[in-house]
């Protein structure tokens, strides 16, 4: 089954720029950016980010304010601060053996950097990889990591998989099945996340946000600093 998957991937795999490097910093940036953000939006932002801060040391030396500004449009701004803090930790102490020791790095991201940058024999399991392995019941090797991600993203879809074009369909016990929709995050419109985003945009524009609850939440996350009535980006 894995041979069929790898042959499919050789012909149909997505052309993503971070697949052309083994630089752990570049791969870490791609993984953090891709969390809850469509890859199509990530590609140009990733390229621009690496033009501005081409090394982990360059990012570590940047101000938190500049990192937050550069992140705008990618959402979930805490990811930017975590990435910045991780860069500072790596610049000071090197890459830890256990990458989950880095700020904002969970099990999947640690495994992805370990596999794709350091060549360690580990299979990173994201939602797409888990979906394919659970439906097929097959134990794939670490060599199939990126192929599984692409198959899950483009063919083995969450609700209505495209079994007619799947290279694994003939041996898949879930062939032809339809699945219940997974639980989705609530709508952004009208949410507290939207209020936080609006407050942060106001700070970025140099105006004073009026939503004190949103400002307090941003301050707790380190995305703004409050001095009396003045709200500004962290330094």
User: Helix, strand, or coil here: 230?
Assistant: strand
User: Helix, strand, or coil here: 227?
Assistant: strand
On whether both 204 and 147 belong to a single domain, the answer is: no
On whether both 225 and 172 belong to a single domain, the answer is: no
pLDDT at 81: 95
Chain segment 64-102, per-residue pLDDT in tens:
999 999 999 898 899 999 999 999 999 999 999 999 999
pLDDT at 96: 96
Q: Which pairing describes strands 230-232 and 225-227: parallel, antiparallel, or unpaired?
A: antiparallel
| Residue 71 included in any domain | yes
Domain-terminating residue out of 91, 116, 141: 116
On whether both 56 and 6 belong to a single domain, the answer is: no
On whether both 107 and 34 belong to a single domain, the answer is: yes
Chain segment 18-42, per-residue pLDDT in tens:
999 999 999 999 999 999 889 999 9
| Residue 186 included in any domain | no
The pTM of this model reads 0.88
On whether both 34 and 99 belong to a single domain, the answer is: yes
pLDDT at 67: 96
Chain segment 39-73, per-residue pLDDT in tens:
999 999 999 999 999 999 999 999 999 999 999 98
| Residue 184 included in any domain | no
Using CA atoms of 35, 37, 43, 48 in order, give the dihedral in degrees to the nearest 10.
-80
Q: Most confidently modeled of 31-35, 188-192, 216-220?
A: 31-35
| 3-state helix/strand/coil string of 105-138 | CCHHHHHHHHHHCCCCCCCCCCHHHHHHHHHHCC
| Residue 214 included in any domain | yes
CA dist., res. 235 & res. 224, Å (int) = 9
Residue range 189-193: average pLDDT?
80
| Residue 46 included in any domain | yes
On whether both 110 and 156 belong to a single domain, the answer is: no
CA dist., res. 142 & res. 148, Å (int) = 10
| Residue 187 included in any domain | no
| Residue 42 included in any domain | yes
On whether both 75 and 158 belong to a single domain, the answer is: no
pLDDT at 117: 97
On whether both 143 and 207 belong to a single domain, the answer is: no
Instruction: State the average pLDDT for the chain.
Output: 92
User: Helix, strand, or coil here: 11?
Assistant: helix
pLDDT at 185: 62
Q: Is-catalytic flag, 208? A: no
pLDDT at 181: 67
Residue range 183-203: average pLDDT?
80
pLDDT at 16: 97
Give the position of tokens 């304010």. Answer: 65
Contact between residue 33 and residue 16 where contact means Cβ atoms under 8 Å apart: no
| Residue 198 included in any domain | yes
Range of the domain at 106: 23-116
On whether both 204 and 166 belong to a single domain, the answer is: no
Domain-terminating residue out of 116, 138, 153: 116
On whether both 139 and 220 belong to a single domain, the answer is: no
DSSP conformation letters of 46-84: HHHHHHH--SHHHHHHS-HHHHHHHHTTS--THHHHHHH
CATH of the domain at 132: 1.10.1670.10
On whether both 27 and 75 belong to a single domain, the answer is: yes
Contact between residue 155 and residue 165 where contact means Cβ atoms under 8 Å apart: yes
**Please, which pLDDT band fits residue 212 given cuts at 50, 70 and 90?**
confident
CATH of the domain at 49: 1.10.340.30
As for how many domains the chain has, the answer is 3
Q: What kind and span of H or E run contains 41? A: helix 39-52
Chain segment 133-179, per-residue pLDDT in tens:
999 999 999 999 999 999 999 999 999 999 999 999 999 999 988 88
Considering 2, 11, 20, 31, which one is annotated as catalytic? Answer: 31
CA dist., res. 190 & res. 37, Å (int) = 20
């Amino acid at each position: 089954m894995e041979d069929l998957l790898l042959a499919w991937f050789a012909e149909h795999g997505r052309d993503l720029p971070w697949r052309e490097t083994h630089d752990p910093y570049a791969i870490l940036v791609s993984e953090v950016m891709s969390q809850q953000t469509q890859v199509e939006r990530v590609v140009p932002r990733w390229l621009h980010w690496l033009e501005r801060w081409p090394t982990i040391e360059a990012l570590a030396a940047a101000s938190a304010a500049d990192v937050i500004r550069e992140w705008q449009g990618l959402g979930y701004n805490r990811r930017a601060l975590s990435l910045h803090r991780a860069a500072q930790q790596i610049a000071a102490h090197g890459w830890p053996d256990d990458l989950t020791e880095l700020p904002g790095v969970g099990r999947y991201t640690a495994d992805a950097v370990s596999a794709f940058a350091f060549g360690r024999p580990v299979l990173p399991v994201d939602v797409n990889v888990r979906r394919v392995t659970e439906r097929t019941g097959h134990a794939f090797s670490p060599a199939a990591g990126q192929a599984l991600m692409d198959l899950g993203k483009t063919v083995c879809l969450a609700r209505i998989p495209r079994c007619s074009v799947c290279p694994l369909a003939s041996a898949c016990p879930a062939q032809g099945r339809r699945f219940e929709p997974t639980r989705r995050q609530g709508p952004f419109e009208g949410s507290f996340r939207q209020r936080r985003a609006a407050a942060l945009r106001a700070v970025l524009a140099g105006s004073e946000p009026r939503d004190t609850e949103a400002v307090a939440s941003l301050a707790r996350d380190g995305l703004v600093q409050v001095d009396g009535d003045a709200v500004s980006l962290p330094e």
